[in-house]
Structure 1
Amino acid sequence: MHNMDWDDLRFFLAAYRAGSSNGAARMLGVRHTTVGRRLAVLEQALGATLFIRTPEGMSPTASAVEILPLAEAAECSFLAIQRHAGSSDSLIEGKVRLTTSEAFSDYIVRRLPQLQERHPALTVEILSGNRVFDLSRGEADIAVRMTATTQPELICRRVGDAGWSLYASEEYVARYGVPEPPTNLSGHEVIGFDESLAGTPGAQWLETHGKAAHIPLTGNSIGAVISAAVVGIGIAMVPCFLASSEPGLRRLSPQPLSTRGIWLVFHPSVAQMARVRAVIDFIAEIIGADAHLLAGTEPAT
């Protein structure tokens, strides 16, 4: 017995309703020979004759009359599935998984009430940390990253820039002064980064310019490094948008010392879902609105 598929039932229903292979072909937008062939496949799969071919058209057999209500029920179920899938993709509700660094997740979380207000049925699941989630394998829906992706199947949109600079507490500056120029860190206490943050602009900048400094402490999170600077342990090379909100920190260089792009990364298939698009658009919008804060640049007056 051959396997039957839903498409064969579509041909059966069209032939039954039209009463001829030509009529069924017009309904389905195919050649009448295709109708004949697909019905023959279905009859073989069922082991029953469904239509008597006559010069006037096609006359349903007793077997066809018996299976008609079942075929119509299958059609209803199939159309309901299509409608449900379509509506859930077009509704802004349900869960969207967003992955980003620990430092950036805090920035997004603080602004999520605006999104919640717009779309109360939406749930955003934040996956923060240094682990890179695989979007191609569906481990997350959207990523906000500080590096461009090299995976060709993913869409990668640059939505802004993140500037990094040196910061220290007033107490530290009173004791050790300000490095002049900022690249001269000889004789200074500098907070370092753990191996897990070696790829960050701060760690890479210190790798080049911080060799002459003393490292009293290293941290495996940007938050810990900033906290260490706030309490005066040393100078921190951190993102401007995080450090500028700390009243206890002073910026030691007017211009950002390192800048990295902010990228929105997602698979084109998930971007077709309205709930995912709503989050993508929201993140692009808030990053655009905070362009100067994130880049660590002063707007032109």
Structure 2
Amino acid sequence: MSKYDTYTCKYATGVYMDKWTEFKTAYKLAKYGTLSATAKDLAIHRSTVMRQIDVLEESLGVKLFQRNDKGYIPTEAGLEVMRLGEITDVQLTQFANKAKNKEDVLEGVIKVTCVNELALLLFPAITKYQSLYPQVKFEIIGDIRKYDLEYGEADLAIRTGEKPTTLDNIVIPFAKIALVLCAHQKYKDMHGLPTKENLNKHKFVANSERLAHIPWNEWIHDHVPQENISLTSSSQQILNYALQTGAGIGVS
């Protein structure tokens, strides 16, 4: 097994969108479905709604709506506008509410996502940070799923393997970790230890999914015949239990 670098990622916004008024209008039209309701909500004329939609579609180079006798039906791109609009609406509302009660202290909740096994690396940094900013709280999302920072699913992500190349993410080296293949004494007593030559005679445990941001799981799927992966689970805790009972060989 190899050593893997661990990186901290956070989302950095870029200046790409300059049609915020038109975007808001498209969001409202996708939400209400009619020009009249949209115009009433925004306190503008129906023709202004149509004009702003035309401007945004031309700018994006994609059709956002299909019109029928019931009103305006959002296309796939239009549905994405509505989803982003809902997220933006919620975040701006939260910001406005916080701004009303603004104090000269750093506070709020920082969402951090990582696989469960990396959480132990976080606590010294969290403890130090909270000693400086006691009003800041942390929410640790322990999950194998790769959360999207750009959609606000998390503020920070601890990821392993190759340095992430996602656009608009700020990537900072965080720690180095070493992982090894291991088996319980119970497994060794029953099956002995594996070699490169006899991997196909041994049982392995691995995550159910192949996920590029969990390289140790990829290593097993790449080097061990699939018929020898005798137990899989979406929970690393369950895989650890399997290792402890001698069910197979895995990474720890």
- 1:206 maps to which residue? 220
Amino acid corresponding to residue 134 of structure 1 in structure 2: D
2:146 and 2:206 mapped to 1: Cα distance?
Answer: 22
Aligned 8 A contact 1:185 1:212 in 2: no
1:8-87 alignment runs, 5 A limit = none
- 1:134 maps to which residue? 148
Counterpart check, 1:93 vs 2:107: yes
1:198 and 1:233 mapped to 2: Cα distance?
Answer: 25
* Higher Cα radius of gyration: 1
1:183-262 alignment runs, 5 A limit = 184-195=198-209, 197=211, 200-211=214-225, 214-236=228-250, 238=251, 243=252
Q: Which of 1 and 2 has higher RCO (CA within 8 Å, sep 6+)?
A: 2
1:92 and 1:186 mapped to 2: Cα distance?
Answer: 55
Q: TM-score, normalised by structure 2?
A: 0.51
1:220 and 1:198 mapped to 2: Cα distance?
Answer: 15
Aligned 8 A contact 2:115 2:142 in 1: yes
**1:152–1:209 Cα change, 3 Å:** closer
Gaps of 5+ in 2: 1-97
- 1:248 maps to which residue? none
1:199 and 1:106 mapped to 2: Cα distance?
Answer: 18
**1:203–1:224 Cα change, 3 Å:** same
Gaps of 5+ in 1: 1-80, 244-301
Q: Deviations over 1:241-276 (max 9, x none)?
A: xx3xxxxxxxxxxxxxxxxxxxxxxxxxxxxxxxxx
Secondary structure of the residue aligned to 1:126 is strand
- 1:165 maps to which residue? 180
Amino acid corresponding to residue 174 of structure 1 in structure 2: D
**1:155–1:111 Cα change, 3 Å:** closer
- 1:36 maps to which residue? none
- 1:120 maps to which residue? 134
Q: TM-score, normalised by structure 1?
A: 0.43
Share of identical aligned residues, percent? 27
Q: CA deviation at 1:132?
A: 2.6
Secondary structure of the residue aligned to 1:160 is strand
Which of 157, 176, 188 matches 2:191? 176
- 2:29 maps to which residue? none
C-alpha RMSD over aligned residues: 3.2
Q: Deviations over 1:143-193 (max 9, x none)?
A: 111253333322111223333220111121122221134x74121111132
**1:216–1:153 Cα change, 3 Å:** closer
**1:218–1:211 Cα change, 3 Å:** same
1:117 and 1:213 mapped to 2: Cα distance?
Answer: 50
Q: CA deviation at 1:114?
A: 5.1
Question: What is the aligned residue count?
Answer: 154
**1:235–1:213 Cα change, 3 Å:** farther
1:216 and 1:195 mapped to 2: Cα distance?
Answer: 14
